[in-house]
């Protein structure tokens, strides 16, 4: 007569997972234990993922413009003609577009979403052919900790300094005076700044 006694058998499996690892772990099996035996299998899986995004975007635009037309004079003539000063113009355009996308960085291991079920902790294993009065159990658990920290710093500085001066138009000391016309002075600035951050 064969007699197999197993007083106490406890198997504990603990697996720690870091970023980029996902393993399907079986809960194990218990079979063929003797009478009055105690057997327990415990499987614990823990995956942690920590992502920190720091985005700093800064745009500084300084535009200085000055437009001046010359002086137009008709003077000291018996018969004065016409004097016309030309036009002075400045034109500036600025377009800045910046885009930062961190949405894939916080999804889980390696950028892909990981759920506790994906870690395999839900496979309960099997118990069979145990002896009389035996105590056998299998337990498994899976835990996922996913932490994402986003810090966004966006600054935009736009400085525009514009001056436009027309020259003087003068008709003086003429027997027959003509005309004096000063030209136009103008400044134009157009700025388009777009900053887009997706976390």
DSSP string, 18-53: -TT--------EEE---TT-EEEEEEEEEEEEEEEE
69-73, 94-98, 115-119: which is most confident:
94-98
Contact between 124 and 28 under an 8 Å Cβ cutoff? The reply is: no
Q: For residues 5 and 38, which has the higher predicted lDDT (pLDDT)? A: 38
Q: What is the pLDDT, as a whole number, of residue 119?
A: 52
Contact between 138 and 39 under an 8 Å Cβ cutoff? The reply is: no
Cα angle for residues 69, 74, 77 (degrees, 5° grid):
160
What DSSP designation does 168 have?
P
pLDDT reading at 90 higher than 60: yes
- Neighbouring CB atoms inside 10 A of 79's CB total 9
Rounded mean pLDDT, 120-146: 80
Express as a percent the part of the chain with pLDDT over 90.
Answer: 5
- Residue 110: helix, strand or coil by DSSP? helix
Contact between 180 and 167 under an 8 Å Cβ cutoff? The reply is: no
- Residue 118: helix, strand or coil by DSSP? helix
Instruction: Identify the burial level of 142 via C-beta atoms within 10 angstroms of its C-beta, where 0-12 means exposed, 13-18 middle and 19 or more buried.
Output: buried
Q: For residues 25 and 176, which has the higher predicted lDDT (pLDDT)? A: 176
Q: What is the pLDDT, as a whole number, of residue 184?
A: 84
Contact between 47 and 17 under an 8 Å Cβ cutoff? The reply is: yes
pLDDT confidence bin for 18, thresholds 50/70/90: very low
Chain segment 75-86, per-residue pLDDT in tens: 888 787 888 887
Contact between 3 and 34 under an 8 Å Cβ cutoff? The reply is: yes
- Residue 92: helix, strand or coil by DSSP? strand
Q: Model's pTM, two decimal places?
A: 0.53
The first and second tokens of residue 90, run together, are: 């400045």
Determine the distance from the C-alpha atom of residue 76 to the mean position of all C-alpha atoms in its chain, rounded to a whole number.
71
């Amino acid at each position: 007569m064969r007699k197999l006694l197993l007083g106490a058998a406890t198997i504990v499996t603990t697996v720690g997972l870091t970023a980029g690892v996902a393993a399907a772990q079986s809960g194990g099996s218990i079979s063929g234990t003797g009478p009055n035996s105690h057997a327990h299998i415990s499987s614990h899986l823990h995956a942690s993922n920590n992502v920190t995004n720091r985005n700093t975007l800064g745009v500084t635009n300084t535009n200085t413009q000055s437009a001046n037309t010359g002086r137009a004079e008709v003077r000291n003539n018996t018969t004065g003609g016409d004097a016309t000063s030309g036009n002075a113009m400045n034109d500036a355009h600025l377009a800045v577009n910046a885009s930062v996308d961190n949405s894939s960085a916080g999804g889980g291991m390696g950028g892909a979403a990981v759920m506790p079920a994906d870690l395999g902790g839900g496979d309960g294993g099997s118990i069979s052919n145990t002896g009389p009065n035996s105590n056998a159990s299998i337990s498994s658990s899976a835990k996922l900790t996913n932490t994402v920290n986003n810090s966004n710093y966006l600054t935009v500085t736009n400085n525009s300094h514009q001056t436009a001066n027309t020259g003087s138009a003068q008709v003086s000391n003429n027997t027959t005076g003509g005309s004096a016309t000063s030209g136009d002075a103008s400044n134009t600035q157009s700025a388009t700044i777009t900053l887009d951050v997706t976390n």
